[in-house]
Amino acid sequence: MSIERVTSFGNINISQEAVATLAGGVVTECYGVVGMASQKFLKDGLAELLKKDNYSKGVVVRRTDEGLELDVYIIVSFGVKITEVITAVQSKVKYVLEKTLEQDISKVNVFVQGIKVVE
């Protein structure tokens, strides 16, 4: 699945992984987010904190009739209001991706995989 556009200069194809990496970069800029988390828990119920190269592993992109739907897996900082962080992540991801990709974003589902104390 990719985003395809035809322009007067030629064809444009944006891969699902590129969309996921872009979304991951946007998420990590949000206040209260420590980083992206893996979709799967490691042993003992701990979530893996992803490095910049692997942001796409923390985002699932699906195409629906209404537009793109994203599942974002994050780790938040201890002491922040989680609902406020999630709302900020949802609105920022939706805004940036719609402006950048010129594609409708129908849903941004946020899954908090862990809370980390930042020193």
Cβ contact 116:61 at 8 Å: no
What the block records as the tokens of 115 is 């809370």
Kindly report the pTM of this predicted structure: 0.84
Q: Does CATH number 3.90.1150.10 belong to domain 2-116? A: no
Tell whether the torsion through CA atoms of 86, 87, 90 and 92 is positive or negative. negative
Question: pLDDT value at position 4?
Answer: 84
Most confident of 60-64, 83-87, 100-104: 83-87
Q: Which residue has the higher pLDDT, 85 or 117?
A: 85
Through-space distance between the first and last CA atoms of the chain, rounded to whole angstroms: 40
Looking at the DSSP bridge assignments, the partners of residue 112 are 74
Beta-carbon contacts of residue 69 (< 8 Å; ≥ 6 apart): 61, 62, 63, 105, 106, 107, 108, 109
The answer for residues whose C-beta is within 8 angstroms of residue 50's C-beta and 6 or more apart is: 24, 35, 36, 37, 38, 57, 58
Per-residue pLDDT band at 114 (split at 50, 70, 90): confident
Q: What is the pLDDT of residues 25-59, one digit of tens each?
A: 999 899 999 988 877 665 445 566 666 667 777 89
